Each structure stands twice: as C-alpha cells, then as structure tokens.
Amino acid sequence: MADRVRNDGVDTTGYDPEQRPDAMQTKYKVNTAGDRWFIPYNPAQSMADQLAHNKKVVGRTVDNSDAGVEM
C-alpha cells in the first residue's frame, strides 16, 4: 500500500477508496439482486446506471474488488 501520510503526520489511507484493505467491504441490503445500494444524485437514471454510480462512489480495494457488496 502506498504511503498516505499528510504533512501533519495524519494517515489518510481510509480516505482513498483505492487504498482500502482488501477485507474491507460495506454490505448493502437490496430488495432485488442488481438494485442500487442507495439513492444517488440522479434517481431518474436506469437502475443499472444508478448501481454503477453507487459502485464508483463506494470505491474499490487494493486488489481492485468492490468495497461494497449487496446482501
């Protein structure tokens, strides 16, 4: 993992979605498989577009897996 320490010594790793530990995942309960995880900025988009936006917002881990999963 890349060094993510600010000038004041604060580790900012948790703020970079691409540097989250592989074991870190947020579970989102959905009514139907493939549904969005939460209401995005533009709820008029298709469900697939909303889910893609949700995944982008939640980010990925160091091994490039989704940091969020549906349950």
Domain segments of the chain: what residues?
A: 23-70
Q: How far apart are CA 13 and CA 21, in angstroms?
A: 9
Q: Is the pLDDT of residue 17 over 70?
A: no
Q: How far apart are CA 32 and CA 24, in angstroms?
A: 23
Counting Cβ atoms within 10 Å, is residue 24 exposed (0-12), middle (13-18) or buried (19+)? middle
Q: Is the pLDDT of residue 1 over 70?
A: no
The pTM for the full model equals 0.64
In this prediction, residues 38-65 reach a mean pLDDT of: 84
Residue 16: its pLDDT value, please? Answer: 66
